[in-house]
Amino acid sequence: MLQLDDLRLRQGDFRLTANWTLAEGDRLALIGPSGAGKSTLLAAIAGFLRPDSGALRWNGADLTAEPPARRPVAMLFQDQNLFPHLSILRNVGLGIRPDLRLNAAQRAQALAALERVGLGGMAERLPGSLSGGQQSRAALARVLVQDRPLLLLDEPFSALGPALRAEMLDLVTALLDETGGTLIMVSHAPEDARRIGGLLSLVDEGHAAAPVPGGEAFANPSPGLRRYLG
Ligand SMILES: Nc1ncnc2c1ncn2[C@@H]1O[C@H](COP(=O)(O)OP(=O)(O)OP(=O)(O)O)[C@@H](O)[C@H]1O
């Protein structure tokens, strides 16, 4: 379980509060206006931003002072962070060992992850020779080999068209079904939240609301959500 315990965050003059929990295996979409603090909240969960006050816990363990690498978190950013001069196998291998000294089992693990995301046979290709969707798949394979229980996605597929984005979200949810992982995803698109079929938190007016089932939230939107949806 992820606990955001009276969390208070600050970036310059901007402030955000959150006070809720997420059960293991939950899928949460964070939606809200531009600049409302969605990425700020993800950064705090990932450990890139230290809260002003409050605590972050994972299954009871206090993460608040833990550095990013020691958190149970894998994160996928909008720009995918693939290194252009490394094959996609080596890009995925970075998720296992940053010095890339992979033994045979680790190399096999990276190849299996590529296979799982539909890139079997493309291991030696450079990212620049792949389509946008294939690059997203490679980035997802790197997240997969990190084997962390909490996956954070910060608009990772926003450069893709709607059909490809839906395909990637379906792949993510299929992978989570297999691993039992927990997902927090930032998105501007309400249809993305519907696609992952989980919980929804509206981030607005300095506050990240407690997650509610997305279906209910869309069927009976709060005034804030109605404003956001337009
Ligand atoms: N490093 C920083 N220093 C000062 N202020 C910052 C910094 N990073 C973000 N902010 C401010 O924090 C607020 C929240 O930004 P954040 O990126 O979390 O919003 P967001 O909801 O993710 O926006 P978007 O949907 O546009 O990506 C904004 O007002 C932004 O200007």
Q: Residues 230, 224: contact at Cβ < 8 Å?
A: no
Q: How high is the pLDDT of residue 91?
A: 96
- Average pLDDT for residues 128-156, to the nearest whole number? 92
Across the chain, mean pLDDT equals 93
Which tens digit of pLDDT belongs to each residue from 33-64? 999 999 999 999 999 999 999 999 999 999 99
d(CA 214, CA 212): 6
Q: Kindly calculate the radius of gyration of the chain based on its CA atoms and give it in whole angstroms.
A: 18
CATH numbers and ranges of domains, the chain: 1-71+150-156+182-230 (3.40.50.300), 73-147 (no CATH)
At 75-134, the pLDDT tens digits run 987 777 899 999 999 999 999 998 999 999 999 999 999 999 999 999 999 999 999 889
Token readout for 88 is: 């996609």
Cα of 25 vs centre of ligand 1, distance in Å, is 28
Q: DSSP class of residue 126?
A: -
| Residue pair 104/142 in contact by the 8 Å Cβ criterion | no
Contacts 24+ apart (CB under 8 A), 129-132: 130/88, 132/159, 132/160, 132/164
85, 142, 172 from 110: Cα distances, Å: 18, 8, 17
CA of 10 to the centre of ligand 1 (A): 10
Identify the residue whose C-alpha is closest to ligand 1 atom 16: 37
pLDDT band at 207 (very low <50, low <70, confident <90, very high): very high
CA of 80 to the centre of ligand 1 (A): 19
Amino acid at 25: G
- Report, in this order, helix, strand and coil percent for the chain, each rounded to 5: 40, 25, 40
Tell me the pLDDT band of 161, cut-offs 50, 70 and 90.
Answer: confident
User: pLDDT grade, residue 174 (50/70/90)?
Assistant: very high
**How remote is the CA of residue 45 from the centroid of ligand 1, in Å?**
15
Best of 8, 10, 31, 38 for a ligand 1 pocket test (most atoms within 8 Å of beta carbon): 38
Q: Which of 26, 20, 22, 72 is nearest to 46 (CA)?
A: 72
